[in-house]
Amino acid sequence: MANTKSAKKRVRQTERKTIVNRKIKSKVKTALRAAIEAIEQNKDDASTQVAKAASAVSKAVNKGILHKNNGARKISRLTTKLAKKGSAVVAQVKKAAKKKAAPKKAAAKKKTAASKSKR
């Protein structure tokens, strides 16, 4: 047990800071878990979830709750997962976009051919 007045005050301060830090760490873990879940389920808002998680990690690093290398590692691993899973999703989206865009290109070619024939 603390003997001096200043030591007792430091104990009180530490208890308050511990509660705040625990809340922030919990928010970071929740955000990371939500982002990973969104990535694994190929949800549309996965990139949004990753951005929210990265923001939460950065805030914790800036407040000194997480070490900067720890925060960088968490963000790096998260973005790597998104890139790996996201590449498959992006490929599917691109294929779908090409299928939709193909008729538009054909229609544009017909218009240009028709305009050239009028000249």
pTM, two decimals, is 0.68
Domain holding 56, by residue range, is 5-118
**Which tokens go with 87?**
């590449």
Nearest to 32 by CA among 75, 85, 80: 75
How distant, in Å, are the alpha carbons of 16, 44, 61, 94 from that of 87? 44, 13, 29, 10
pLDDT score at 96: 54
pLDDT in tens, the chain (119 residues): 789 999 999 999 999 999 999 999 999 999 999 999 999 988 888 889 999 999 999 999 999 999 999 999 999 999 999 998 876 655 555 555 565 555 555 555 666 666 666 65
How distant, in Å, are the alpha carbons of 83, 113, 116 from that of 119? 50, 10, 5
Where residue 26 sits, what CATH number does that domain have? Answer: 1.20.58.110
pLDDT score at 114: 64
pLDDT score at 58: 95
pLDDT score at 101: 53
pLDDT score at 8: 95
Q: How many domains does the chain have?
A: 1
**What element of type H or E holds 6?**
helix 5-40
- CB 81, CB 42: distance < 8 Å: no
pLDDT score at 6: 95
